[in-house]
């Protein structure tokens, strides 16, 4: 391996408290090191006039697995560049891969890396689809990756809860599932709602009973969050709440926070869960209420799920809500599924339009949330790719957050009622580079428990993005000058320079093996896969992921 | 059927059967003194037939160039030369697993080849119907746990998936009462139904076609959506009512059995599912993509962003579900070389063609007419691997039964790739 010095850049490293010092960053053998000023290095790069940050980490982006691939297979018309096919890459390091709103895995890696991102996490991996999900992520070049396994709609969990089985058994089952699927965390999607839809229930509020199991989303959320806490899984429960997209769903979101009773949790794509019922159209922003709740509850972190105007596809595990919204599909088709008594999925193509009142308001709500939540450490910058918009729109989003006059110009162009009445126009906050660095790398790393990523302290992995200073923040964040992955130059001024295989982050909580007898029996009597084939071993994970490194994250010590 | 218990595995052998659509994984394979492979556990005609084509001896199959035995290096060099000289190669057959598919995609990019599976037309029937109007599908565990009405469209799938009804739990206590209907089945399907009818809680019915399958499903679709249909047959009317009253109805079809323009049947059934889902619950399960085709479609889908019948051509990445039909390309002489992959089934041989042909596959394909033949390992027999199950969501590991000493497809393709 080799050594490297990035000389004289403005280093923004919130984890280590730096406030934009101009200094050198040293790298040796893929790690950040302290280099003496005159110490010889293999390569020295002039970073003056540049901002140096850790590589970006996207903690919620649908980049691989069943529903993502369904989107690709079913929407070939979106895998075109207007009337023409996507041109072949002019870079010999790249293989052909479409850049549509659900890009091929290869293009996903190339485009993320060109933007300075070095890790991305798939938030909705079904246990039954775990191998597929890991395989797709293994075919995303360069990026490290990981996934949150979906629980809380699997019939077994709901049955155990309904039968009032010992909490410890439910916790053991969760731990087994996390280990078997090689997950980085647990996500619950529309708690109990996906299952309820299989029993023909069309709506499920936080305190409403699942029609068959007679348990409530409140119980589901609390049980999952508590178990993860006790298992010491660093990333707390990742929650896609009840009633996504429904006017007035702010109540469900507040009820969900209440259900946690102070347990840590991450509320995802909260923009889709922050709607009121005020005004003539009975659809209004509840961003302020949401932000107040987040500000008041330090156990809660969020990512926003900002929408971006244009064509995209919404790919979600929430079959109940996707079915309900399938009439809005554009083009008019959608695909749904009930899957393996684990969960479900719904793929609904969608076009967000500036002149739609609802879409314009969604856009404003997302930005309001970013700007009204005070603690950037608890806010991750996402579009819930591709659901709110493709990840390639992040530089535009960053500009909207950092540049008030630009934001107001955009606001003036959308639906006039929103432009005139939205609170957004009166918000003067402009996020700093320091805050953007928190929301795009330092914060996500901390929320995931990645101690050696998302920062530039000595010993950290040398995942680094070097951006040329530019008052146009969109241009600045679109094409960093240099991007390093574990010390290797992987992109230079928007061009991929190397395509190493990324690693897989996962956690392995401990549990009482006694649960396996119960699971074996259950899978034989209700399932479709032999228990002996259900779990992914380390060797198999490695082969699924193209031989990438295994990056187990440590669980924290728990006090019984 | 009585309550299912865990089927014990003989010895330490774990096995996932790669030879049918369902990837059954509760049986094991025994190897006798002669090297013959036999199935133990749940019987299966498909698995037994396929296993008879293997012997647990180190392979003596040799690569060939122009019908003459040669070294692997020579065969790889000849294949690479042939592809390098080709202006428009076709990758056909595509009988492989995930790692083979990954390698084939790299080769397709390098050579600008068009890729289509052996049963590409059947694969496209469900894909195109979904691309046009969408779909709602379900998987085996869901069917087993909740389906109270199962409607097989155009016959039962037991020929390609012998244990289908067992895997769906028909006769198990999980769903106390199930109704299995077959629309347009054969006498053999009626015999299958008669067998199912003896299981506890199972009722069956065989519904003859009204005209052809297109007309029959159209009538059913109209009846389910409550439209008045003059002189609708009583059996279809009753089925429509049954579907509307079902808790969870599932339509099952085999894509291979669909007639020409079968996508219209798929679309009609998918629409019926959509109608039912307005008031109750229903889903479809289209079974196809066997012999690795479904797996390769998934892998190409994620790597490139497009399904099969695509190519990385001069204009860029193109998907042409009609034009890039292997059969059509060969008959139109729109391609000038063929690389045929068939690792699982030696009966899936390359189509008759005068074009330079490379065959990578089961050792018994040595007899196929080919410029270059390279025997490769069969995932799930001679090497490990991964396949997608036909219902589309579950990927299962394949385990080697014995070391066949043959190279994997991925290793052969990567070696060719180095030399093209």
Cβ separation A68–B302 shorter than 8 A: yes
**Mean local confidence (pLDDT), B136-157:** 98
For residue B376, give every residue at least 6 positions away whose Cβ sits within 8 Å of its Cβ, in sequence order, or none: B343, B360, B361, B362, B406, B407, B408, B409, B412
For testing the chain B interface, which of A530, A532, A540, A545 should be mutated: the one with the most B CBs within 10 Å? Answer: A530
Bridging pattern class, strands B134-138 and B68-69: unpaired
Q: Which two tokens stand for residue A324?
A: 């309900």
For residue range B116-126, list pLDDT tens digits in order: 999 999 999 99
Tell me how far CA of residue B270 lies from CA of B154, B226, B277, in angstroms: 15, 16, 11
**CATH says B64-119+292-378+406-419 is which class?**
alpha beta
For testing the chain B interface, which of A325, A350, A528 should be mutated: the one with the most B CBs within 10 Å? Answer: A528
**Mean local confidence (pLDDT), A526-542:** 96
Fold classified for B124-287: Dimethylsulfoxide Reductase; domain 2 (3.40.228)
Among the partner residues A104, A197, A526, nearest to B145 by beta-carbon distance: A526
Cβ separation A73–B307 shorter than 8 A: yes
State residue B57's pLDDT score. Answer: 83
Cβ separation B302–A105 shorter than 8 A: yes
Cβ separation B301–A129 shorter than 8 A: no
State residue A1's pLDDT score. Answer: 57
State residue B34's pLDDT score. Answer: 86
Cβ separation A72–B248 shorter than 8 A: no
State residue A71's pLDDT score. Answer: 96
Over 50: is that where the pLDDT of B4 sits? no
Cβ separation B139–A84 shorter than 8 A: no
Higher pLDDT, A82 or A432: A432
**A197–chain B nearest CA distance, Å:** 8
For residue B395, give every residue at least 6 positions away whose Cβ sits within 8 Å of its Cβ, in sequence order, or none: A129, A131, A132, A135, B98, B386, B387, B388, B389
**Mean local confidence (pLDDT), A188-198:** 98
Among the partner residues B106, B141, B301, nearest to A528 by beta-carbon distance: B141
pLDDT class for B40, splitting at 50, 70, 90?
A: confident
Over 70: is that where the pLDDT of B11 sits? no
For residue range B373-410, list pLDDT tens digits in order: 999 999 999 999 999 999 989 999 999 999 889 999 99
Over 70: is that where the pLDDT of A560 sits? no
Greatest alpha-carbon pair distance for chain A in Å reads 71
pLDDT above 70 coverage of chain B, percent = 97
Helix axes A66-74, B293-304, angle to 10 degrees: 90
State residue B330's pLDDT score. Answer: 97
Among the partner residues A86, A323, A521, nearest to B317 by beta-carbon distance: A86
Q: Is A29 exposed, middle or buried (0-12, 13-18, 19+ CB in 10 A)?
A: exposed
Bridging pattern class, strands B248-254 and B202-207: unpaired
State residue A19's pLDDT score. Answer: 73
State residue A82's pLDDT score. Answer: 86
Query: Among 3.30.70.2860, 3.20.20.140, 3.40.630.30, 2.70.70.10, what is the CATH number of A53-496?
Result: 3.20.20.140
State residue B369's pLDDT score. Answer: 86
pLDDT class for B1, splitting at 50, 70, 90?
A: very low
Cβ separation A73–B106 shorter than 8 A: no
ipTM: 0.97
**A79–chain B nearest CA distance, Å:** 7
Q: In what order do the strands lie in the sheet with A343-352?
A: A310-316, A343-352, A334-339, B134-138, B281-287, B248-254, B149-153, B178-183, B202-207
For residue range B310-366, list pLDDT tens digits in order: 999 999 999 999 999 999 999 999 999 999 999 999 999 999 999 999 999 999 999
**B21–chain A nearest CA distance, Å:** 13
For residue range A347-367, list pLDDT tens digits in order: 999 999 999 999 999 999 999
Cβ separation B26–A546 shorter than 8 A: no
**Mean local confidence (pLDDT), B14-29:** 94
**Residue A397 · residue A477 · CB < 8 Å:** no
Q: Tell me the average pLDDT of chain A.
A: 97
State residue B42's pLDDT score. Answer: 85
Question: Which chain A residues in 383-442 lie under 8 Å from chain B, judged by CB atoms?
Answer: none
Among the partner residues A72, A200, A333, nearest to B305 by beta-carbon distance: A72
Over 80: is that where the pLDDT of B8 sits? no
Nearest alpha carbon to residue A192 among A171, A161, A168, A237: A161
State residue A552's pLDDT score. Answer: 95
For residue A56, the cross-strand partners are A117
Tell me how far CA of residue B7 lies from CA of A253, B40, B169, in angstroms: 45, 10, 15
A195 interface with B at CB cutoff 8 Å? no
Among the partner residues B134, B139, B313, nearest to A340 by beta-carbon distance: B139
State residue A559's pLDDT score. Answer: 59
Among the partner residues A84, A135, A526, nearest to B315 by beta-carbon distance: A84
Where along chain A do its domains lie?
53-496
Contacts of B136 in chain A (CB under 8 A): 335-337
Contacts of B132 in chain A (CB under 8 A): 333
Contacts of B315 in chain A (CB under 8 A): 84-85, 87
Integer Cα distance of A128 and A177 in angstroms:
10
**A315–chain B nearest CA distance, Å:** 13
What one-character-per-residue DSSP string does A413-458 give?
A: TS-HHHHHH-GGGG------HHHHHIIIIIHHHHHHT-TTSSS-ST
């Amino acid at each position: 391996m080799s050594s490297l010095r990035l000389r004289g850049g403005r280093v923004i490293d919130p984890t280590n408290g730096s406030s934009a010092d101009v200094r050198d960053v040293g790298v040796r053998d893929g790690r950040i090191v302290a280099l003496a000023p005159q110490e010889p290095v293999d390569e020295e790069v002039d970073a003056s006039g540049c901002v140096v940050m850790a590589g970006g980490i996207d903690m919620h982006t649908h980049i691989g697995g069943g529903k993502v691939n369904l989107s690709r297979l079913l929407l070939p018309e979106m895998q075109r560049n207007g009337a023409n096919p996507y041109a072949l890459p002019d870079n010999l390091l790249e293989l052909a891969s479409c850049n549509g709103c659900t890009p091929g895995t290869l293009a996903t890696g190339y485009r993320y890396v060109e933007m300075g991102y070095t890790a991305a996490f798939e938030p909705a991996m079904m246990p039954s689809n775990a191998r597929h999900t890991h395989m797709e992520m293994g075919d995303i070049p360069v990026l490290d990756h990981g996934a949150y396994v979906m629980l809380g709609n699997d019939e077994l969990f709901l049955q155990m809860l309904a039968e009032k089985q010992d909490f410890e058994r439910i916790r053991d089952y969760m731990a087994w599932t996390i280990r078997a699927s090689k997950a980085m965390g647990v996500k619950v999607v529309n708690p109990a709602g996906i299952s309820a839809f299989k029993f023909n229930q069309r709506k499920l509020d936080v305190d409403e009973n699942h029609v068959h199991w007679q348990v409530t989303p409140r119980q589901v959320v609390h049980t999952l969050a508590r178990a993860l806490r006790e298992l010491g899984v660093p990333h707390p429960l990742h929650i896609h709440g009840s009633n996504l997209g429904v006017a007035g769903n702010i109540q469900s979101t507040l009820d969900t926070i209440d259900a946690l009773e102070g347990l840590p949790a991450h509320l995802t794509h909260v923009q889709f869960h922050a709607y009121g019922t005020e005004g003539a159209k009975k659809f209004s922003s509840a961003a302020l209420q949401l932000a107040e709740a987040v500000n008041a509850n330090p156990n809660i972190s969020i990512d926003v799920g900002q929408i971006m105007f244009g064509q995209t596809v919404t790919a979600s595990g929430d079959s109940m809500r996707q079915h309900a919204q399938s009439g809005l599909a554009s083009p008019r088709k959608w695909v749904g599924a009930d899957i393996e008594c684990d969960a479900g999925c719904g793929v609904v193509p969608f076009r967000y339009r500036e002149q739609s009142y609802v879409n314009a308001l969604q856009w404003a709500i997302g930005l309001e949330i970013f700007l009204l939540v005070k603690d950037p450490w608890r806010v991750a910058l996402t579009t819930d790719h591709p659901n709110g918009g493709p990840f390639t729109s992040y530089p535009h989003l960053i500009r909207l957050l950092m540049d008030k006059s630009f934001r107001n110009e955009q606001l003036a162009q959308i639906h006039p009622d929103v432009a005139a009445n939205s609170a957004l126009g009166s918000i003067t906050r402009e996020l700093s580079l320091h805050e953007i660095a928190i929301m795009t790398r330092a914060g996500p790393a901390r929320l995931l428990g990645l101690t050696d990523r998302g920062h530039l302290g000595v010993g950290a992995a040398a995942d680094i993005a070097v951006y040329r200073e530019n008052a146009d923040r969109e241009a600045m964040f679109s094409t960093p000058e240099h991007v390093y992955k574990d010390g290797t130059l992987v992109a230079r001024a928007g061009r991929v320079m190397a395509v190493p295989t990324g690693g897989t982050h996962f956690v392995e909580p401990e549990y009482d093996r006694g649960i396996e007898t119960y699971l074996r029996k259950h899978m034989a009597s209700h399932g479709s896969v032999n228990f002996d084939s259900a779990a992914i071993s380390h060797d198999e994970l490695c082969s699924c992921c193209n031989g990438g490194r295994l990056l187990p994250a440590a669980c924290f010590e728990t006090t019984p | 059927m009585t309550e299912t218990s865990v089927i014990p595995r003989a010895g330490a052998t774990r096995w996932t059967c790669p030879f049918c659509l369902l990837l059954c994984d509760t049986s094991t394979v025994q190897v006798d003194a002669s090297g013959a492979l036999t199935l133990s556990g749940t019987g299966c005609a498909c698995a037994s037939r396929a296993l008879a084509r293997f012997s647990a001896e180190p392979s003596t199959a040799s690569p060939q160039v122009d019908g003459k035995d040669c070294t692997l290096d020579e065969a790889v060099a000849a294949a690479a030369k042939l592809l390098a000289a080709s202006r428009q190669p076709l990758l056909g057959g595509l009988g492989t697993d995930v790692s083979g598919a990954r390698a084939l995609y790299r080769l397709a990019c390098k050579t600008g080849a068009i890729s289509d599976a052996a049963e590409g037309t059947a694969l496209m029937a469900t894909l195109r119907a979904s691309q046009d109007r969408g779909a709602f599908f379900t998987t085996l565990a869901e069917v087993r746990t909740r389906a109270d009405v199962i409607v097989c469209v155009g016959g039962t799938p037991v020929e390609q998936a012998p244990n289908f009804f067992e895997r769906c739990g028909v006769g198990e206590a999980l769903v106390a009462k199930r109704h299995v209907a077959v629309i347009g089945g054969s006498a053999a399907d009626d015999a299958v139904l008669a067998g199912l009818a003896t299981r506890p809680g199972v009722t069956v019915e065989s519904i003859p076609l009204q005209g052809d399958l297109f007309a029959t499903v159209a009538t059913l679709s109209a009846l389910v959506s409550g439209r008045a249909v003059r002189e609708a047959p009583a059996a279809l009317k009753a089925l429509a009512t049954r579907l509307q009253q079902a808790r969870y109805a599932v339509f099952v079809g085999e894509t291979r059995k669909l007639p020409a323009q079968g996508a219209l049947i798929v679309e009609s059934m998918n629409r019926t599912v959509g109608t039912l889902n307005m008031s109750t619950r229903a889903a479809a399960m289209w079974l196809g993509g066997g012999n690795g085709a479904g797996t390769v479609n998934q892998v190409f889908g994620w790597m490139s962003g497009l399904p099969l019948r695509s190519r990385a051509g001069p204009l860029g990445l193109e998907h042409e579900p009609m034009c890039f039909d292997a059969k059509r390309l060969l008959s139109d002489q729109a391609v000038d070389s063929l690389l045929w992959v068939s690792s699982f089934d030696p009966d899936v041989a390359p189509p008759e063609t005068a074009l330079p042909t490379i065959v990578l596959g089961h050792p018994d394909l040595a007899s196929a007419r080919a410029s270059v033949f390279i025997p490769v390992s069969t995932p799930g027999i001679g090497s490990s691997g991964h396949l997608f199950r036909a219902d589309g969501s579950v990927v299962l590991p394949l385990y080697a039964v014995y070391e066949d000493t043959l190279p994997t497809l991925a290793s052969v393709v990567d070696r060719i790739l180095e030399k093209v």
